[in-house]
Chain A
Amino acid sequence: MLLLLPLLWLGCEKSWKERMRDDSPYHNFDLLWETIDQKYAYLELKDLRWDTVYWHFLPQIDQNMGDEALFAVLDSMLYLLRDGHVNLRSPFDLSRNWQWYLGYPDNFDAELVERQYLGADHRIAGGMRYTFLTDSIGYLRYSSFGTTIEEGQLRAVLRYFKNARGLIVDIRSNGGGSLSNAYRLARTFVQNTQPRLRRLYRTGRGANEFDRATGLRISKPEDPRGRFSKPVMVLQNRRSYSAANTFAALMSQQDSVQLLGDTTGGGGGLPIDYELPNGWYFRFSGTRELMPNGRDLELGIPPDIPVQQDSANSRQGRDRLIEAALARLR
């Protein structure tokens, strides 16, 4: 019997492999729907009845449909999740729902900021651009948390702003990146209150199966040279997303910090990558993150001081958010 085991094994394996090679439109549709059903973090928060979604889109699947047609159906299905961390990537297109910022005013003009405020001689350290806007008010622009902040660079920036009376940290149109960078920068501004977040992990197939909330607590650097203790204004817009959204959530818990601008775009969940049998990739939010007051980061972080840029300001070469922040810090 022992001698026949390998043969039995090979026979079983063959039929199993044949089933797993299935890359038909139905199999792709089923796997995508099922993964979202079993692993997506926000079905309940967004009040989505995912079973109904399945029966709505299933009739649109056809065994002989082409890639473009299949992509269009899957794209429409994922669009309902209203999540910037949800994408389907094929060789010819990327499905997305970017209404979290397209449906709102931009409140930011990169060229205007560079020409009118940063100037030609501003400093650059890693992804940070910084300068003094007045004798005593500093301005720090950080456009992507995907660019690493090294401790040495952060120290150099803090040394530069040593005598500043206040600082403007501009994370408008910062679409996120690495959370480590967000934590590192946020630490610099921690005073007496340690900002906290709770991350919830899905633990099973049910839409509400979350467990083991993991606490995140940011403590201030032990070395005083790594801290900035003067007043800070954080400029944010709808395109402040994902790690930038998390940064705003941490900063909002500091007494010396005020958020100014528009509500951030959200993107509170950790994006998880997966793939389909036809070779397309997709990603989705796999975790939830909550503020101490229970607010879900997916909903965005509202500003303490709502300010909108308008076209008249732009024409005059003025950034209304920077001007408002300057007025409060003076």
Chain B
Amino acid sequence: MPFCLASLSFSAGRRFTAILLLAALLHIWPRASLQAQYAGWEGRYLNFGLSGTRLFTHDYSLSPLVYQGLLGGLQLGYQDQIGPWQGGINITGAGGRLHPLAFHEQNQTLTLAGRAYFHFRYQVGPSGPFGVWAGLGQASYWDYHQVEAYANNAIDYTGLFSVGPSLGAQWNFTLPLDKAQPYWGLSADLFGGVGAQVLRPGYITPFIGDEIATNEWRWHGQQQHWRARLSLCWLRTNGNQLRLSYVGNFFWIEQPNWVQNASHRLALEALLRL
């Protein structure tokens, strides 16, 4: 049951938010060009962060019902931008409890989620305040669920190790009231998995003969994997950065037990320049 754009239904509040966001972007656009020569992104960084994730999963190995919940997480990473090259790895570990969307009071489910995302890109767009990078990305996801109310099928898991194109964009700007530094930036990232190694339970039981039941390569179409990130970055004069990042993830894996997983992650990150 992939997300259907046709079923979009923005509420009045969301429409208003969208208009405000667009207006703000249009307002800062001209000022961005003033920072054409700013090179505040360059360097090597270590990345530490705290995150909160709202996770939805519809997993036929786990239940015919949709589960949702909040996960708290820690993240660690490294990234660099040297000349036209850009690369990095981000690892997030998160844990929390999910419950069925249809009823909240029972079947709390322990969930542990691991996310690692690696990218390596080359600048293909204009130099200056706005730049575009293109390259390869690799996303490794691992979700583990343990359902308290179940017995033989209490364990459920998904391993997804995707490879695909990765696009990045960066944009410098100053806020209207800023007369000088600090500078601000927006950084965005989009990844789509072309193929993936998939680890999943069997159609009925988590393991077959004590082994992971499904461990095979799937191309796009038998699975889908999308990851989008948008970060608001505060580029400090000492070279460090503070970021507020939103990461949206969606993956879907086909039969025998299809799983659909969507998450929103909000993270506060500190990037320390090495």
Binding site for B on A (CB under 8 A): 2-17, 20-23, 31, 34-35, 39, 41, 201-204, 212, 214, 270-279, 281, 286-287
A21 touching B102, Cβ below 8 Å: yes
Contact pattern, B 135-153, Cβ under 8 Å of A = 1, otherwise 0: 0000000000001011111
Q: Are B56 and A13 in contact (CB under 8 A)?
A: yes
B203 near A278 (CB under 8 angstroms)? no
- How distant is B225 from chain A, measured CB to nearest CB, in Å? 15
B58 CB-CB contact with A under 8 Å: yes
**CB proximity of B262 to chain A, nearest CB, Å:** 7
Bound form: Cα–Cα A11–B6 in Å: 10
Q: Pick the contact of A272 from B14, B17, B152 — CB < 8 Å?
A: B152
A277 and B262 contact, Cβ closer than 8 Å, known pairs A2-B190, A6-B248? no
Q: Could you say which residues of chain B place their CB within 8 Å of the CB of A17?
A: 56, 66, 101
- Which parts of B183-238 form the interface with A (CB within 8 Å)? 186, 188, 190, 202-205, 208-209, 213, 228, 230
Contact between chains at A272 and B204 (CB < 8 Å): yes
Listed in ascending order, the chain B residues whose CB lies under 8 Å from chain A are: 1, 3-5, 7-11, 14, 17-18, 21, 25, 56, 58, 63-66, 100-103, 105-107, 147, 149-154, 169, 186, 188, 190, 202-205, 208-209, 213, 228, 230, 246, 248, 250, 255-256, 262, 264
Interface CB pairs A-B, < 8 A, 28: A2-B190, A3-B21, A3-B230, A9-B264, A10-B14, A12-B3, A12-B7, A13-B3, A14-B9, A15-B8, A20-B102, A23-B103, A201-B203, A201-B205, A204-B255, A212-B208, A214-B208, A270-B204, A271-B152, A272-B204, A273-B149, A275-B65, A276-B64, A276-B65, A277-B103, A279-B100, A286-B153, A286-B205
- Which of chain B's residues has its CB closest to A15's CB? B7
Chain B's closest residue to A281 (CB) is B149
Is the Cβ of A4 less than 8 Å from the Cβ of B18?
yes
Chain B nearest CB from A24 CB (Å) reads: 11
Q: Which 4 residue pairs of A and B lie closest in terms of their CB atoms, listed nearest first?
A: A286-B204, A277-B102, A273-B150, A12-B3
Q: Residues of B contacting A5 with CB < 8 Å?
A: 190, 228, 230, 248
Decide if B205 touches A272 in the complex (CB within 8 Å): yes
The answer to whether B248 and A272 touch across the interface, beta carbons within 8 angstroms, is: no
Q: Are A274 and B7 in contact (CB under 8 A)?
A: no
Q: Tell whether, in the assembled complex, residue B101 and residue A287 are in contact, meaning their CB atoms are under 8 Å apart.
A: no
Our pick among B65, B169, B228 for the contact of A277 (Cβ within 8 Å) is: B65
Residue of A nearest to B226 (CB): A5
Determine if B103 and A279 form an interchain contact, defined as CB atoms under 8 angstroms apart. Answer: yes
